[in-house]
Homo-oligomer: A and B are copies of this chain.
Amino acid sequence: MAQMNMVEAINLALREEMERDPDVILLGEDVGKEGGVFRVTEGLQQRFGENRSIDTPLAESGIVGCAFGMALLGLKPVAEIQFMGFLYPAYDQIISHVGRIRNRTRGVYSAPMVIRMPYGGGIHAPEHHSESTEALLAHTPGIKVVIPSSPADARGLLKSAIRDPDPVLFLEPKRIYRAIKEEVPEGEVLVPLGKARRVREGGDLTLVAWGAMVREAQKAAEELAGQGIEAEIIDPRSISPLDEAAIVESVKKTGRCVVVHEAPRTCGLGAEISALLMEQALLYLKAPVERVSGFDTVMPLPKGEHFYLPDLRRILRGARKVLEF
């Protein structure tokens, strides 16, 4: 056990899995010699050689399409997309091939691969560098989608993702890459995919948040606790498949729910969670499920970023709205 931030924890997971299994192989723009623009793959090329940590040409569809080809032949590629905003050129490969191959060949072929990428806003990054379009991925059949919110989860989830026999998209909230340090176990401590984490217990309302928004939800919960209101926080960790039971159970208990996410509201994952609660918990609701989210606009450039991202103020407003309904 050691204190680590998320970058270090992901790096550790990669190193451990590469040591464990020679079929695990990294590829992406600048992942090798440079160790990634966020240093997530630092030292791995030095350790495992240029053939296991490949600096690719600048082409995302190429990265994902080649990783897919590798996976077809039994390797376990871990591809990095430099920022989520540059995933889109590869989206066709994901929806048309990566997510389909097992089903369309009835299991003759499969794609045991991971696609990692920094995700979300909040670091005053340039245009296109703050995307959080996880809902596109959650809507895509045949893939799993994971978003850690802490170093230990990041390590444990990534190890599970790499070992998973199916393709996993792994979204890393870069805003908290170095913001949180915690004890991270070593060895065979895995975090299962598809299982939510109850970050905080409480009986008055449920906050559902993932990625960097978990920390914001925690701040809101503390603030509310000061007012005698106990919020439960559920972090789904895997958004596909989603641990519906954990969310539904919590909201059945509290009767009130605020979903917090960075992405645009319309057809975001908040809509899905609201719809699930509609279907599975309607009679337990004391107020409409509230979405505190990014707007249906382009993410503003750094000077306007704070208008866009859900923050303490907006989460508290959402909480008040469901509490006072």
Q: Which residues of A are in contact with B by a Cβ distance under 8 Å?
A: 61, 85, 88-89, 91-92, 95-96, 99-100, 103-104, 127-128, 133, 135-136, 138-139, 141-142, 240, 242, 263-264, 266-272, 274-275, 277-280, 282, 285, 287-291, 296-298
B275 touches A289 (CB 8 A): yes
How many copies of this kind of chain does the complex include?
2
Q: Is the CB of B266 within 8 A of A298?
A: no
Residues from chain B with a CB closer than 8 A to the CB of A282 are 285, 287-288
When distances are taken between beta carbons in the complex, the residues of chain B under 8 Å from A128 are 96
| 16 contacting pairs across A/B (C-beta < 8 A) | A85-B96, A88-B96, A104-B298, A135-B139, A135-B267, A138-B267, A141-B298, A242-B266, A267-B272, A270-B275, A274-B274, A274-B275, A275-B289, A278-B278, A278-B289, A282-B287
Compute how far the CA of A60 lies from the CA of B279 in the bound complex, rounded to whole angstroms. Answer: 38
**Cβ of B277 and Cβ of A278 under 8 Å apart?**
yes
Q: Give chain B residues whose Cβ lies under 8 Å from the Cβ of A269.
A: 267
Contacts of A139 in B (CB 8 A): 133, 135-136, 263-264, 266-268
Q: Which of B85, B103, B135, B272 contacts A298 (CB 8 A)?
A: B103
Q: A138–B277 Cα gap in the complex (Å)? A: 21
Q: How far is the CB of A244 from chain B (nearest CB, A)?
A: 10
Residues of chain B within 8 A of A298, CB atoms compared: 99-100, 103-104, 141-142
How far in angstroms is the closest Cβ of chain B from A166?
A: 13
In the bound complex, how far is the Cα of B264 from the Cα of A138, in angstroms?
A: 10
Q: Which residue of B lies closest to A296 (CB)?
A: B141
> With A and B bound together, what is the CA distance between A268 and B274 in angstroms?
12
Q: Which residues of B contact A290 (CB under 8 A)?
A: 279
Q: Which residues of B contact A287 (CB under 8 A)?
A: 282
Closest Cβ of chain B to A272, distance in Å, is 4
- How many angstroms from the CA of A123 to the CA of B279 in the assembled complex? 31
Q: Which residue of B lies closest to A89 (CB)?
A: B92
Residues of chain B within 8 A of A289, CB atoms compared: 275, 278-279
Chain B: which residue is nearest A269 at the CB level? B267
Whether A103 touches B297, Cβ cut-off 8 Å, given contacts A92-B88, A267-B267, A267-B272, is yes
Shortest A193–chain B CB gap in Å is 15
A104 to B242, CA, bound (A): 34
CB pair A267–B271 under 8 Å, yes or no, is: yes
Q: Which residues of B contact A267 (CB under 8 A)?
A: 135-136, 138-139, 267-269, 271-272
